[in-house]
Structure 1
Amino acid sequence: MNLAISIIVCFSALWVIYDASKNKLQSPVAWGLSILFLWFIALPVYLFKRKKMIVNATGFHESGVEDNAWHLNKRQTPAWVGYALVIAFSVGYYSWNLSKGELPLCESKEVAEVLSKIVDGDSISNPAQYSYEMFNEVRHCNLMINDTPRSFTVKWYSEDKDQFLVKFD
């Protein structure tokens, strides 16, 4: 799911750079980077203002009458720089997220070690995940302790994602 959202945001930013460059709008790279970092705000603003910006950039209204057109600054950042920045930021962010590690599974060795310390000698069997909150990164799990079903959660201790917590519900 995170990958799909990242791809949608990245392609939206790339499309905005392409569209703004094609229509000779001011600052296509700035628009693209705005979309990348503030997607849920900047994309609707761009789409809402797009037609008016195109009219201002070309200097022609739908009637064909030329209006007070401003012309692009020759020192404007090339679109390929924007494409490169968007791709670099997108790949970098996703790689950084992957490097943080993934929350251990309910049936993993690490979780089993923590559970055995918590129950102190009781028999643990059949740990299994029944739900996963992707946004909060919390695994909801069930297991059997001495033939009695129990529920527990596995979540990160901090944003550093270097330690995790196991808590019985």
Structure 2
Amino acid sequence: MVSGPAPLLCKMRLQKDVGSLTASGLSQGMLVQLLRHWGHDGFLRHVDGVMEFYRQRAQSATRCAERHLAGLAEWTAPSGGMFLWLRVLGVKDTEVIVHKALQRHVIFVAGTHFTPANQKSACIRISFGTTSEEDCEKGLSVLADVIREEVSHQQQHTV
């Protein structure tokens, strides 16, 4: 939210609208230069390489999940993108799990942040785009420990 003189707000709105409708001039110029340098076939080779990179990362994240989270969470192997979504079994709100993992220097995003009105969610989003298999192993091992602790804690307090 912003407040100020109407002429300034009008110009700010126009700039925001223009920026939202098209890619920036700098981005467009960079793309033109890349296409001139690589050519069409070079660009397609680059895209294929990027797709292969993320395919390998997705497979790595799925393997790590299978090793550490079997019986603790459910997921579908990603067919694209850079995120693995988990549904944690026996937990209705993953905010506590994400917070405890963060205390152990591992970062995930609770599904709450992707729901209308920040509703409680049993889901966690894991980013594998820039994560090595070694870091994925460590991170999902920590996540598995935190899930076990939280499920045990909830069971003790619901009896």
In our comparison, the structure showing a higher alpha carbon Rg is: 1
Structure whose residues are more often helix by fraction: 2
Fold equivalence (TM over 0.5) = no
Q: Larger RCO: Structure 1 or Structure 2 (Cα < 8 Å, ≥ 6 residues apart)?
A: 2
The TM-score, its normalising length taken from structure 2, stands at: 0.30
